[in-house]
Structure 1
Amino acid sequence: MKESIHKYFRVGTIQWMSHPPVSYDLLDSIKTIACDDFFDALEVTQIKDDTLRAAAKNLLAQSHLKVCYGAQPRLLGTGLNPNDIDEEGRKKAEATLMEAVDEAEYLGAGGIAFLAGKWKPETKEQAYAQLLKTTRNVCGYAKTKGMTVETEVFDYDMDKAALIGPAPYAAQFAADMRTTCNNFGLLVDLSHFPTTYETSKFVIRTLRPYITHLHIGNAVVKEGCEAYGDMHPRFGFPNSANDTPELLDFFRVLKEEGFFDAENPYVLSLEVKPWGKEDGDIILANTKRAINRAWALLED
């Protein structure tokens, strides 16, 4: 493409993935990303310390970055399940998502994203009903603040084993949600397509009316190989499923399906993290090179 990717997308990254908190200081991470004008958006998550949260808010306010909020760690890190068939468990998950809406608002984000919880075949229909209840309640609360809610589509049997997807099931859920909540959408991630045994064309076309947010990344889906599952390794990682050709295909499908929107660009975030002792900043540069190459190969 002759035109810049930044014309059509707000290119972002996921702070806690790019700079895992075990190795990187939060404020240093936000400052590093905010000083890099390749990025138009930054996705942040729960900040438990009040002083640290206020400092993060101050940096984000200076940056002119679009701020997004991922509530996934609030669930993955605690075992809370928004589709828990135990009502008390479901309510606890709902409560943390309500808190996420408040924190997102404070940090300057326009909404939150989260994922469905684990499920069992014998209670799948009950779990689906519970997830609808949770998501509708959170959407209702978010709407009072003019905010949005997104469910990210994950694998259903490989690693996270979340209730939503694969893509056809995610489409059913989104359609049910949209009957009552017009502030709901889906977040789709290129790195999850191999984990749901689907292609970019199939996922994007199946979920076209409901997609409001995009992620790109990589995955290893060969059993027994290093970083197997939903681990988001760098592009070019051994035995992995996605690299520049798959990213180019993803861009082609997005272009064909009308996602290149200069007036209201979608957020397109990198969800790639360093593996082992890899350096987060080098992995960020790696991902930008893959994006730049795929974009350069995309036909006008």
Structure 2
Amino acid sequence: MILSENIISVVHFMAFPGRQNTDSMLRGEPDERYLMNSLKIIADDPYFKGIEVTRIKDPALRKKAIDFLSKTGMTIFFGAQPVQLLNEEKYDPADISSINELERKNAVDRLKRALEEAYQFGAVSFAFISGRDQGPDVRETAKLALIRSIVELAEYSRSLAKEFKREPIRLVLEMFDRINDPRGRFANQLIGPTFEAIEVARRIRDEYEIPEFGLLYDLSHMYLLRNYYIRKKKVDIKIGEDENVQEIKNVVVEEEIEEPEAPVVLQYLMPYLVHVHIGNCVLDPNDPRYGDSHASFAYPGGAMKVRDVANFVKALHEMGYKGPIGFEIRPYDREGSVPVLQHAKAFFDDARTWQDVIYGIGGFKFATREYFPEWAFYRLTDIRINHPEIAIEELKNRKKRKKLTDDGYLVLLAADHPARRVTSVVDDPIAMGDRLEYLGRVVRVLASGFVDGVMATPDIIEELAIINHLFKEAGKKGFLDGKLVIGSMNRSGLSGTYYEMEDDLTSYTPEDIKKMNLDGGKLLFRLDTGRYSRFSIRTMRYCAEAMRRMNDYGLPVFLEPLPVTREREDQPYRV
């Protein structure tokens, strides 16, 4: 299972907020029995290798929790976010980014006290937030205050590390929304959108040389974070009235675009991303849990569905993320902490076993032989020679769609070009002639949940069926079930030949498509209205006859009509 080497942790103070789901744990005032029982529940669950704790005000109870956790072997992370958000001292909500120097120092001192507790716990990281956004007019000044505060925290942390004879704890800034809600249902923090967080992180890492600093990204904040950019476009405008109207064309106007974040931002965060949270939010203003509520994934009004989590997990996998993944969810009303956690585990595991997530690449550059190794290619060849019936059985037994499309749209991969002597890619004239590379890339695309199927010739489709068999043999999900498999029919119009426009049915016939349990057929018709139009007319007749036979079988057929031209006979046709 992907991300199996990452430490999966629980944000303890959210999953177990206190008796009857009060916030006593967040306040640092938990009942002893409740605290110790909840720690034991997490420690006894082999799914979790880490735990995220916060302050415990009672020194004796804190020591008891520390002693217990020290014997579990769990990785401990400390979160100071509740200390800052509850703000019992009534400091400036801007916290460590306050432009009031006295308020800023008070907030830093508060975090220093929490940092001392983190070292007592033996935590490997210390998470905190930036403080409330003070508005665009002072935002840049506030960022400077934030950076100064983090530098001071780092200096203090290094002094504590010497005292505890260990490496400095990792300092982690959690990114929150910047939504100013009068009812306090959002955090409205300075940091904030991804690209602003990156700039802060870059300065702290590079200019102030604090390598132990990093960022925490929470899935539940993804739809709450907004990025703004200016888009320019050309418009035509009219000035004046009646007979005096003057039209001015191609006037450049600017408009501000606001967009919620998406998993792609993780790629930009990669150099600084050291921790992620898996959580849920509610986007319906009429819902009682509206906002950054970290509701259970079972909550009907939750914004995060399995597909959203799968996209997030896929992005982490593709960027090679190795850091901790914390479950930050909380029970409400009569919900129990354990059922909420159990559902979160099932939800997360469901997301990371989606077909396109499992078969996703492990880096940004696709390495075919890592995804489809040579031993698999040799196994394919062996089956092709000794057990060719497997391909036919796979095709006949695969699960087909009930209908071609649910929404009227289809994305199909065309993998029939080599059969027509088209093998070049950019400056490599035979790139598609490398069978292992070609098949590996076709399988990778088909494994995507955003691709509906493939159009290909018999050789490709049969080999895909064998590879599908190998996947299932290895205990993985097949990639052909529920996909459209369309047989390419006319491939005799070999590229560069005299008779290229005469494209007869040399691949699948309608009878073959019916026999092999395919979902339909594909025909290519290129029209040359010049010297070789006679060949195009013959192809038109071949296509018409094939379509009639496909109709007789009740099978759909895709016709690709392309008008083509070429300036000289020694040049290729252009559409």
Task: Report the Cα distance in structure 2 between the residues aligned to 1:201 and 1:50, rounded to whole angstroms.
Answer: 41
- Comparing 85-94 with 192-201, greater Cα deviation is found at 192-201
Partner of 1:220: 282
Task: Report the Cα distance in structure 1 between the residues aligned to 2:40 and 2:19, rounded to whole angstroms.
Answer: 17
Matched-pair contact (CA < 8 Å) for 1:190–1:200: no
Q: Which amino acid aligns with 2:16?
A: H
Partner of 2:144: 129
Q: Which amino acid aligns with 2:14?
A: M
Question: What 5-or-longer segments of structure 1 have no aligned partner?
Answer: none
Q: TM-score, normalised by structure 2?
A: 0.49
Matched-pair contact (CA < 8 Å) for 1:200–1:253: no
Partner of 1:270: 327
Q: How does 1:189-268 map to 2 (within 5 A)?
A: 189-197=218-226, 198-259=260-321, 261=322, 266-268=323-325
Deviations 1:218-275 (CA, angstroms, capped at 9, x unpaired) = 101222222111110011322321121111111111111121x4xxxx1100000012
Deviation at 1:4, TM superposition (A): 5.9
Q: How does 1:65-214 map to 2 (within 5 A)?
A: 65-78=74-87, 79-80=90-91, 81-121=95-135, 122-144=137-159, 145=161, 146-158=168-180, 159-179=186-206, 180=208, 181-197=210-226, 198-214=260-276
Figure out how many residues of one structure are paired with residues of the other and give that number.
Answer: 292
Q: Which amino acid aligns with 1:52?
A: L
What SS does the aligned partner of 1:201 have? coil
Partner of 2:416: none
What SS does the aligned partner of 2:97 have? coil
Matched-pair contact (CA < 8 Å) for 2:15–2:329: yes
User: Which structure is higher in helix share?
Assistant: 1
Q: Which amino acid aligns with 1:147?
A: I
2:65 pairs with 1:56: yes
Matched-pair contact (CA < 8 Å) for 2:297–2:343: yes
Task: Report the Cα distance in structure 2 between the residues aligned to 1:243 and 1:275, rounded to whole angstroms.
Answer: 19
Task: Report the Cα distance in structure 2 between the residues aligned to 1:132 and 1:102, rounded to whole angstroms.
Answer: 20
Deviations 1:182-228 (CA, angstroms, capped at 9, x unpaired) = 11000001010011143442320221111011100110122222211
Q: Which amino acid aligns with 2:305?
A: D
Matched-pair contact (CA < 8 Å) for 1:218–1:232: yes
Partner of 1:23: 20
Q: TM-score, normalised by structure 1?
A: 0.93
Partner of 1:42: 51
What SS does the aligned partner of 1:82 have? helix
Identity of aligned residues (%): 30
**Larger relative CO (CA 8 A, sep 6+): 1 or 2?**
1
What SS does the aligned partner of 1:63 have? coil
Task: Report the Cα distance in structure 1 between the residues aligned to 2:290 and 2:190, rounded to whole angstroms.
Answer: 20
Question: What 5-or-longer segments of structure 2 have no aligned partner?
Answer: 22-33, 162-167, 181-185, 227-259, 360-575
Deviation at 1:129, TM superposition (A): 1.3
